[in-house]
Amino acid sequence: MTIRYPNGKIYHDKGAVKTTKTSTTLYGNRGMSLEEDLQETNVYYLHQDIAVVHKKPTPIQIVDVHYPKRSAAVIKEAYFKQASTTDFNGVYKGRYLDFEAKETKNKTSFPLQNFHEHQIHHMKQVVKQNGICFVILMFSSFNEVYLLPAEKLFIYWERMQAGLRKSIAKAEIEADGYLIPIGYQPRLDYLKVIDQHF
């Protein structure tokens, strides 16, 4: 399937969060992606009346569909209707939550190319309105997940914009972010980090 941006350019997935069940990331002999773990965590929060957090749907316009059989349709071409902002949003203790989730196989740093200018702009708007905004970053090689406040991400983004380093060193994430322990219920208790640090 071909997916295009609003300007017509073809979308190429460059390190985006994997959403298939065939992810090779292993947690206790169970293949799960970061996004799936967050979805499972958010369902737990919802069922326990802790928070209401959902993954935002990606706005796509389908332009070419083939019907090889009456009972099956195959999408051949689609366009992003608009630039997406962040992956998840919701409400927790009366505060608006907004965050992006990314994972990398890189062992020493997190590439900033995984973020886009419109996402940074959106996160700055959320912070300006006193929303709780952050990114959840996973180093899949180490099975480590960190919560990095958006305000810290902005510093590294501006450093890159100034022509300096194009990634965030793992040591910087460890210093400026918060390790999210991997558990059972919830899988990634990021709200515990919010309670302790926001």
> Can you spell out the DSSP letters for 4-70?
E-TTSPBP--SSPPP-STT---BSSS-B--HHHHHHHHHHHHHHTTS-EEEEPPP-EEEEEEEEEET
Question: In 113-174, where do the E strands start and end?
Answer: 132-139, 144-149, 167-169
pLDDT at 74: 79
Would the pLDDT of 151 be above 90?
yes
Q: Choose between 48 and 58: higher pLDDT.
A: 48
Q: Where does the pLDDT of residue 15 fall: very low under 50, low under 70, confident under 90, or very high at 90 and above?
A: very low
Tell me the average pLDDT across 149-163. Answer: 98
pLDDT in tens, 71-116: 777 777 766 555 568 999 999 999 999 999 999 999 999 999 999 9
Among 58, 55, 61, CA closest to 88: 55
Range 29-57+83-197 has CATH code 3.40.1350.10? yes
pLDDT value at position 161? 96
If one counts every other C-beta atom within 10 angstroms of the C-beta of residue 127, the result is 17
Q: For 149-176, what is the mean pLDDT?
A: 98
Q: Are 126 and 98 spatial neighbours (Cβ–Cβ below 8 Å)?
A: yes
SS3 state at 111: strand
Q: Is the peptide bond before 59 cis (omega within 30 degrees of 0)?
A: no
Compute the Cα dihedral for 185, 147, 113, 143 and give only its sign.
negative
Give the number of other CB atoms < 10 A from CB of residue 43. 14
82 contacts: CB under 8 Å, gap ≥ 6: 6, 59
pLDDT at 73: 78
pLDDT of residue 155: 98
Q: What is the pLDDT of residue 72?
A: 79
Residue boundaries of the structural domains of the chain: 29-57+83-197
Helix (H, G, I), strand (E, B) or coil at 98: strand
In whole angstroms, give the CA distance from residue 66 to residue 169: 46
